[in-house]
Structure 1
Amino acid sequence: MANFRLATLEDAPALLDLTLRAYEPIRKMGINFAAATADLALVEKNIRENMCLLMEEDGKVLSTISIRMPWGPSPGPFGVPHLWWFASDPDAGRKGLGREMITWCEETMVRDTLKSPAVSLGTADRHPWLIEMYKRRNYVIEGSKDLGRGHITIYMKKILIPDMVGQGAGGH
């Protein structure tokens, strides 16, 4: 059975290996995501600065996703937790692995633990299927920006707690 937890610096080598294998198709498409060309120092920085989560089974890392906080050094655009660095083991052979990881992240960590009414993410306009995948997960396009990486970043947001939307951090 899969176990979910926060990553530690000891997990960095395994996360780097997973990330580079998972992002190989992204590199071949010429899409410049930071994770696609990560090195050990960047993985360690991500673990230190963000909530880097992982799914493991029998000691093997199967999937990872990170949450950048609005108060952190690299916040997302909407003042809510921002998902990034999402990768699942391409060799695991388990269909739905990524879906299981992102659902746990959205529901258990962002909604139930952080009590955030929404979550955001960004993806490349040039990616052939990610935007549609996130739309199927109820993400809505909220904006775009040229970050100078050779593609337009499409920012998407998903409402997690409809009753809290619009209340702000100090809502009553």
Structure 2
Amino acid sequence: MSEVYRIATIDDAEEQFKVIDGAYESIRELGITFRAANADIEMIRENILENTSYVLEIDGSIAATISMKNLPELTELPFLYWFAVLPAFKNQGVGNRLLSYVEEVIVRNTLLAPGVVLATSKNHPWLLPMYERKGYEAFFERPLGDTDTLIFLKKTLIEQGQPAL
């Protein structure tokens, strides 16, 4: 089994759409109004062109994806979003490997950022506790739709005084 971590290109848009659409099916069923839950192929293409999107390929096919951009109105740290694992790879550690790669290799070691931010729904039954177990801590909230709250979480990757690796 070969694994390749890389930046998505516009040629990946259709395959990346299938990953995101499949992964966010449960989000749609929960009625959570994440933008990614209703993304179409044009939104995927626009995201690839305007931001940085990473993929984890397993044996030549995209198994997981996560995107990164700046949210200067909220934080100076990189913001991760549209995190998705193809349902066929769910519960196999694929998402953990991609998230760790982006946190450590990209954000900490390449960008030399001291931390990273992501967001999730307060109403989602397991995402918030999962991110908390991975070291993320809530620091900001804002409404998400009429009955939900978007929780922004940050994770420290480089402690003050600690050199980047």
Same fold (TM over 0.5): yes
Which TM-score applies when normalising by structure 2? 0.92
Amino acid at match of 2:141: S
Please tell me the residue identity of whatever aligns with 2:45: E
2:107 equivalent among 110, 130, 143: 110
> Does structure 2 conserve the Cα–Cα contact (< 8 Å) formed by 1:9 and 1:44?
yes
Shift of 1:150: 4.4
Where do 4+ consecutive residues of structure 1 move more than 2 Å?
Answer: 147-150
- Residue by residue over 1:99-139, the C-alpha shift from the partner in whole angstroms, topping out at 9 and shown as x without a partner, is 11100010011111111001001111100111110110100
* Distance in 1 between residues matched to 2:73 and 2:64, nearest whole Å: 22
Match of 2:57 in 1: 56
Aligned counterparts of 1:157 and 1:164: Cα–Cα separation in 2: 19
Output the amino acid matched with 1:106.
E
Instruction: Give the deviation of 1:92 after TM superposition.
Output: 2.6
Sequence identity, in percent?
38
Q: Which runs of 5+ in 2 are unaligned?
A: none
User: 2: distance between equivalents of 1:149 and 1:45?
Assistant: 27
Question: What is the deviation of 1:95?
Answer: 1.0
* SS of equivalent residue, structure 2 residue 118: strand
Instruction: Report the RMSD for the aligned CA atoms in angstroms.
Output: 1.7
Does structure 1 residue 120 correspond to structure 2 residue 138? no
Aligned partner letter, 1:5: R
1:32–1:150: 8 Å Cα contact kept in structure 2?
Answer: no
User: In structure 2, what is the equivalent of residue 13 of structure 1?
Assistant: 14
The Cα shift of 1:91 comes to 0.9
With structure 1 as the length reference, what TM-score do the two structures score? Answer: 0.88
Q: 2:154 aligned with 1:157, yes or no?
A: yes
SS of 1:134's partner is helix
Deviation at residue 56 of structure 1 after TM alignment: 0.3
